Amino acid sequence: MYRLRMLLTLCAFVLLLSVNGCSQTGVLPEATTRPSLTTNVNDYQYLIGPGDSLTIFVWRNPEISGNFIVRPDGKVTTSLVEDIDVAGRTPTMLAREIEEQLSKYINNPRVTVSVNNFSGPLSEQVRVIGEATNPSAVNYTEHMTLLDLMIAVGGLTEFASGNNAKLVRVVDGKQHSFNVKIDDLIRDGDISENVDMLPGDIVIIPEAWF
């Protein structure tokens, strides 16, 4: 366990050194306060990724319907269509593409696609490394905030320097880093330090040197 912690700390330190070469773009805006999602249109669309479990149902053709696991290469193979690229598509987009391919064999096919177990593509995940209780990649969900992310990884360790954490984000094709004060957010309850997360974000939490 000690060796694992030292390895994670070293990885975080190396990333922090590389972040120093990124553009510093100031302070992140606070997380947006929104009313209940049950009364609003859901703008975020889930993208299928490797490891997802899909149910592909072809109306009136149960013999070619079934459950499929998306392979690491982002593809699935069905009874009639081999090696369908599915990663990075929404379930609706994929259903229309499968209909187009099945139309070579079936008259006017109607397809529905549902996702049973969610993994999502790497571009849609948010990563936390360093002094989090459970450093990991977390699947992005619509309107995710820094507080939501820290709850998902179990908060900070006793060795964390949360107020020196960095958030690395790609903006307009360029990598930028932002300071985030996680100690103030989750230990002092300062909600003004909560910020919106975006797919692909990386949060680096260094160890306190004391």
- Those residues whose C-beta lies under 8 Å from the C-beta of residue 134, and which sit 6 or more positions away, are 153, 154
120 CB burial (10 A radius; 0-12, 13-18, 19+): buried
Instruction: State whether 73 and 94 are in the same domain.
Output: yes
Q: What are phi and psi of 195, to 5 degrees?
A: -135, 155
Owning domain of residue 196: 7-28+122-205
Task: Please give the mean pLDDT across all residues of the chain.
Answer: 84
**Residue 40 falls inside a structural domain:** no
DSSP 30: B
**Residue 11 falls inside a structural domain:** yes
Instruction: State whether 97 and 200 are in the same domain.
Output: no
**Residue 36 falls inside a structural domain:** no
**Residue 178 falls inside a structural domain:** yes
Whole-angstrom distance, CA of residue 174 vs CA of residue 26 = 15
DSSP string, 56-94: EEETT-GGG-EEEEPPTTSEE--SS--SEE-TT--HHHH
- Single residue among 92, 117, 142 that ends a domain in this structure: 117
Read off the pLDDT of each residue in 145-171 and give the average, rounded to a whole number. Answer: 95
The CATH number linked to 92 is 3.30.1950.10
Instruction: State whether 130 and 180 are in the same domain.
Output: yes
Instruction: State whether 134 and 200 are in the same domain.
Output: yes
**Residue 175 falls inside a structural domain:** yes
**What are 121-130's pLDDT values in tens digits?**
888 889 999 9
**Residue 72 falls inside a structural domain:** yes
The CATH number linked to 11 is 3.10.560.10
pTM, two decimals, is 0.70
Q: Distance between the two ends of the chain, CA-based, in angstroms?
A: 20
**Residue 200 falls inside a structural domain:** yes
pLDDT at 31: 58
Break the chain down into helix, strand, coil percent, rounded to 5.
30, 30, 45
Whole-angstrom distance, CA of residue 61 vs CA of residue 110 = 9
- Say yes or no to pLDDT of 2 above 50: no
Instruction: State whether 64 and 138 are in the same domain.
Output: no
- Say yes or no to pLDDT of 174 above 90: no
- Indicate the number of domains in the chain: 2
102 CB burial (10 A radius; 0-12, 13-18, 19+): buried
Whole-angstrom distance, CA of residue 35 vs CA of residue 37 = 6
**Could you tell me the two tokens for 179?**
């300071």
**Residue 42 falls inside a structural domain:** no
- Single residue among 117, 150, 167 that ends a domain in this structure: 117
Instruction: State whether 107 and 135 are in the same domain.
Output: no
pLDDT at 189: 93
**What are 64-100's pLDDT values in tens digits?**
999 999 999 999 998 888 899 999 999 999 999 999 9
